[in-house]
Amino acid sequence: MWCLNIELRNGQAYSEHSERAASRIGSGLLYVLAAYIVVGALWSLWTRHVEAFSLSGLIVALLAMLTMTFLARRKIVIARQLGSRAMRADTAESITCGWLSLVVVVGLLADLMLGAWWVDAVTSLAIVGFVVKEAREAWNGEDCCDHD
């Protein structure tokens, strides 16, 4: 929104600068998210900590999965139309949220049915590669959405 507002007020030249800044901010947030996922997963594995199963938690995670999937699909369309690296980075955050919601669902069900307390942490770590790749692309300013 910030980039679009600047472009409307000041024209294309300012827009490129703000797009680059917004893309770098999004990249930084993705790197922070990746670090948070790693630290959280490693802490859970180290302490053997798992959240207790709750039906309400399962329902919220399922709703988040559906909502984030819909939101990410809409954002990727907009990112392509605008050619916006910043919007693409924001899309990656929504995609990650959807995947993390899936991880919560799988982790809750695995713990409930199998007593596999570690599934949530291990599957969370699997997402980190995607997050770091998207963060690197946003930071380097690679062309938006060509590979989606």
Q: Is the pLDDT of residue 148 over 50?
A: no
Domain boundaries, the chain: 2-140
Q: Which of 53, 49, 65 is nearest to 103 (CA)?
A: 65
On average, the pLDDT of the chain sits at 83
> Could you give the percent of the chain with pLDDT greater than 70?
85
Rounded mean pLDDT, 54-75? 92
Report if pTM > 0.85.
no
Q: Residue 145 has what pLDDT?
A: 52
Provide, for the chain, the percentages of residues in helix, strand and coil under a 3-state DSSP scheme, each rounded to the nearest 5.
85, 0, 15
Q: Quick check: 132 pLDDT over 90?
A: yes
**Sign of the alpha-carbon dihedral angle for 126, 84, 1, 3:** positive
Neighbouring residues of 123: CB distance < 8 A, sequence distance ≥ 6: 103, 106, 107
Tokens 């380097």 correspond to what residue? Answer: 140
Give the span between the Cα atoms of 7 and 63, in whole angstroms: 35
